[in-house]
Amino acid sequence: MELATFGAIMTFAMELEKRAADFYTKSGRGTLDGLFTGLALDTNKRMKRVERTRREGVAEMILEPITGFNSNGYSVELKPGSVEKELLEQAIILEETTRRFYLDAAKKIPVREVARTFERMAKENVRRLAKLKDR
């Protein structure tokens, strides 16, 4: 799907965060329970940040065209019913993909404040990845 507008990028970011929150909420069990519960709570905060950024950036971005950016390559297959090892692998892929999306989107969005927000979110994904890989 072509992400040719500010709204499309922000909607895709919201969907990515929502999918992550749902995955972590449904998958938190066994030895992953505490980690995934924390990630779900954090992801809900991130969704609110994306929504706030969307509201605040709309005035500046309404007419700005965005070219050469689409959602291909940012799709992650999530199966909350998997065994713990597979859940952990899915979570790592999810965080890596989300990090890459935010970095790529930051390069495309011409409003610096929004780009910085996305860059910070990508850095958060790096920290989240470290927690998952330490497992």
User: Which residues contact residue 85 at a Cβ distance below 8 angstroms, ignoring those fewer than 6 apart?
Assistant: none
Q: Supply the pLDDT for residue 42.
A: 97
Q: Supply the pLDDT for residue 135.
A: 85
The whole-angstrom separation of Cα 87 and Cα 46 is: 21
Phi, psi of 22 (to 5 degrees): -60, -45
Is 0.85 topped by the overall pTM?
yes
Phi, psi of 4 (to 5 degrees): -100, 0
The whole-angstrom separation of Cα 114 and Cα 15 is: 17
8 Å CB contact between 35 and 43:
no
Domains with residue ranges and CATH for the chain: 6-133 (1.20.1260.10)
> pLDDT tens track of the chain, all 135 residues?
889 888 889 999 999 999 999 999 999 989 999 999 999 999 999 999 999 988 876 665 556 678 889 999 999 999 998 899 999 999 999 999 999 999 999 999 888 888 999 999 999 999 999 999 998
Q: Supply the pLDDT for residue 54.
A: 85
Amino acid identity of 53? T
User: Which residues contact residue 111 at a Cβ distance below 8 angstroms, ignoring those fewer than 6 apart?
Assistant: 6, 57, 60, 61, 64
The β-bridge partners of 70 are 2
Q: Supply the pLDDT for residue 33.
A: 95
